[in-house]
Chain A
Amino acid sequence: MLGIVRQKMLEQSLKKIRPAVAVLRSYSSAAKQMNVREALNSALNEEMSADSKVFLIGEEVGEYQGAYKITKGLLDKYGTERVLDTPITEAGFAGIAVGAAYYGLKPVVEFMTFNFSMQAIDHIINSAAKSNYMSAGQISVPIVFRGPNGAAAGVGAQHSQCYAAWYATCPGLKVLTPYNSEDARGLLKAAIRDPDPVVFLENELLYGESFPISNEVLDSSFCLPIGKAKIERKGKHVTIAAYSKMVGYSLKAAEILEKDGIDAEVINLRSIRPLDRSTINDSVRKTNRLVTVEEAFPQHGVGAEICACVVEESFAYLDAPVERIAGADVPMPYAANLERMAVPQVEDIVRAAKRACYRSVPNEAQHCWEGAASF
């Protein structure tokens, strides 16, 4: 009781500060800024306002205002019938949400992190993804499963896994990975409007990051197409394909590479399933070199799928083997120095891009080939 009163007082004092900040903003540069958290919150708000069938369900989404404050203010606005706090029972509440979707409602399920989605994975795969197929179209499942995915900072092995590859394997699911605020708004709105089950993989460390945002993106009808990647940076020497946080790292790597005369094209995948194979292949056919970047475990990952697809479709265009940058093949350690080694860093992406561009750059693997190709 007291906690709620305290929180309301804090909110009221914040409300007093905010208008002043907004005034300041309008005097600065024309481009508006929005962080990913605000982007997601505004998308949820608009979609709930537009369609009374949309409701939120998950742990701490209501009174706590969201474990990561993504659902802040929505309980106050839409009430307890549409913003539902659940007990800590993922299998139960995910199953309930899928059942509600069978009936025709549009649940947005929050997993506090996708690590906990494993408790409910049977409902995501067997109850949601496959139902439209098994029922020959009678039962469609317009549900969204969203939440932070992948590594955070110092949260250890059980709280750091990326599930993009796992969910993207399954036909019947759509898997989206927003990077910036425009992605967050456009893809979440598209996901909520989509009649199929969507796994929406956010990133905790991106929630607080601000990005410039246009008026078009701010419009309540704004929506991004599902299954289309975006070329964040055009280039001609090497393609770097990444998703989520690694898009930001890839853009930084591209700036560094530019100084060395390497013009990198950075693709923001946005959608892991459907994977935008044509954008990836078109880019590789232009640059002839590819680096894939993901934070996830390397084996059977998104990079492996991209590599296979490029080898199948554009083999003749490749001038170098596909390079793959991924998380280390170990459970996530806690110690800061080990953690740093367990996730890709900007310099890893730079090094891989250079390898893809200069075949004569010496490295371990190169020594093996030198012997074979000595004619």
Chain B
Amino acid sequence: MALSYLRSSSSSSANLKLLSSAVSIRRPISTDTTPITVETSVPFTAHQCEAPSRSVETSSSELLNFFRNMALMRRMEIAADSLYKAKLIRGFCHLYDGQEAVASGMEAAITKKDCIITAYRDHCIFMGRGGTLLEVFAELMGRRAGCSKGKGGSMHCYKKDSNFYGGHGIVGAQVPLGCGLAFAQKYSKDETVTFALYGDGAANQGQLFEALNISALWDLPAILVCENNHYGMGTAEWRASKSPAYYKRGDYAPGLKVDGMDVLAVKQACKFAKEHALKNGPIILEMDTYRYHGHSMSDPGSTYRTRDEISGVRQERDPIERVRKLILSHDLATEKELKDIEKEMRKEVDDAIAQAKESPMPEPSELFTNVYAKGLGVESFGADRKEVRATLP
């Protein structure tokens, strides 16, 4: 179990804390930013660099935000599961439950001026970037209120105004794209970085090494984040990778192995990586994480792993439970308060789903919009071009 201890900035605030606990008056939990130091579950393992300290500075307000955000993400993904089974979501639906700490921890270390790009397991990353539940559920159901107006679907959520560049269906393609974002950030002298997320399955893609090579040659502020949930669809990492030490696969590029179920470890690693990348070029973060669902809603997730394994991770390493224990052991909130937060998140999700269901499907004319940014008045056709033609705006 992790060691943890309270550290106060001054003796007067320590006295205040003693006083407040004596008379059971607590400061509003959501706004208390007094620093708390927590140790990560395990130390970081480093490749070609010095690992950051496993002591992470956080606060009551940050921990409660983590709890709230991750509980929301968890609830959202579970609700999506039900919607898919009710056939309100079609096609592909890749769920992120179990991996919430990566999305949450990363956001705590960066700003919305930093870029994130990921593959198709993107709902929670989109939320972390400031997306709304309505935008996600409406997109999943193919409705107008969706973040891509219903034209993208589960795998194609974007939020450009907070530098989230999708949402990509081709395994591995997002990594060179992410390095390209980093290139543009350096070109524009923005002093920001890009986090390009990929899975253990994508880690063997050749284009990843091509992009890493160029990024290292040109010192691009690119952080490659391998969300290693140990299964590339149905193929376990030991069957797919000769070397499953993904944090070392960058060879000349430094890497860090991180407990991806520990939101504070994720935050620390991302903070470290951002500082590194701005000065020295690309770095790899391997997040040791786990997905409770199968690869997608078409995959029960139990033909290639045991139910014991799944429940074991849920028992021992669940990211939300970890934060709950931290909050309770530091006396930052009561069990009831946390359960109330979870109930609140559940209600938010239910309300958003109800709202999303009200949103209509796109207008038929939307079939022909956004083909080009500048359509030049060109003609496009439907299946029967003598029936359906449109001028592209």
Contacts and interface: CB of A to CB of B under 8 A. Distances in A.
A126 B170 contact: yes
B371 interface: yes
B98 to A, nearest CB: 27
Nearest to A274: B378
A100 B209 CA distance: 18
Contacts of A100: 180-181, 183-184, 187
Interface string B371-390: 11110101110000110000
B343 interface: no
Interface string B326-349: 000000000000000000000000
A226 B159 CA distance: 30
A126 B156 CA distance: 12
A174 B371 CA distance: 11
A176 B205 CA distance: 31
Contact of B156 (A134, A137, A277): A134
Interface string A240-283: 00000000000000000000000000000000001001000000
Nearest to B217: A87
Contacts of B160: 135, 138-139
Given A96-B211, A99-B176, A136 B151 contact: yes
B130 interface: no
A99 B376 CA distance: 24
B374 A123 contact: no
Contacts of B372: 132, 172, 174, 195-196
Given A98-B177, A132-B370, A132-B372, A122 B170 contact: yes
B184 A103 contact: yes
A97 to B, nearest CB: 6
Interface stretch (B80-88, B161-169, B273-281): B161-169
B20 to A, nearest CB: 47
A100 B186 CA distance: 10
A172 to B, nearest CB: 6
A133 B371 contact: yes
| Most chain A beta-carbon contacts within 10 A, residue among B149, B177, B218, B386 | B177
Contact of B179 (A55, A81, A95, A312): A95
B187 A105 contact: yes
B380 A135 contact: no
Contact of B374 (A97, A171, A196): A196
A173 to B, nearest CB: 9
A196 B373 contact: yes
A126 B187 contact: no
| Most chain A beta-carbon contacts within 10 A, residue among B180, B187, B188, B218 | B180
A277 to B, nearest CB: 7
Given A138-B148, A227-B376, A123 B371 contact: no
A92 interface: yes
A299 interface: no
A84 B180 CA distance: 13
A305 interface: no
A81 B183 CA distance: 10
B57 interface: no
Contact of A92 (B214, B369, B370, B379): B214
Contacts of A210: none
Contacts of A117: none
Nearest to A102: B165
Interface string A151-185: 00000000000000000000110100000000000
B301 interface: no
A92 B152 contact: no
Given A96-B176, A96-B179, A100-B187, A135 B166 contact: yes
Given A87-B213, A91-B210, A100-B187, A127 B168 contact: yes
A174 B176 CA distance: 23
A235 interface: no
A140 interface: yes
A131 B167 CA distance: 10
A102 B177 contact: yes
B184 A104 contact: yes
A99 B373 contact: no
A196 B181 CA distance: 17
A200 interface: no
A89 interface: yes
B255 interface: no
B151 A103 contact: no
A93 interface: yes
Interface in A83-135: 84, 86-87, 89, 91-105, 122-123, 126-127, 131-135
A63 B211 CA distance: 21
Nearest to B181: A99
Contacts of B106: none
Contact of A95 (B173, B374, B385): B173
Contacts of A174: 372
A100 to B, nearest CB: 4
A157 to B, nearest CB: 24
Interface in A191-206: 194-196
Contacts of B165: 99, 102-103, 139
21 contacts: A81-B187, A89-B214, A92-B211, A96-B183, A98-B176, A98-B180, A99-B183, A99-B184, A102-B180, A102-B184, A103-B184, A123-B177, A134-B158, A135-B152, A136-B370, A137-B369, A138-B148, A138-B159, A172-B372, A195-B373, A227-B376
For the complex of A and B, the 6 pairs showing the least CB-CB separation, nearest first, are A99-B180, A95-B176, A92-B210, A103-B184, A89-B210, A99-B177
Given A96-B179, A100-B184, 16 more contacts: A87-B217, A91-B207, A95-B176, A95-B180, A98-B176, A99-B184, A102-B184, A123-B177, A127-B173, A131-B166, A135-B166, A139-B158, A172-B372, A195-B372, A195-B373, A277-B379
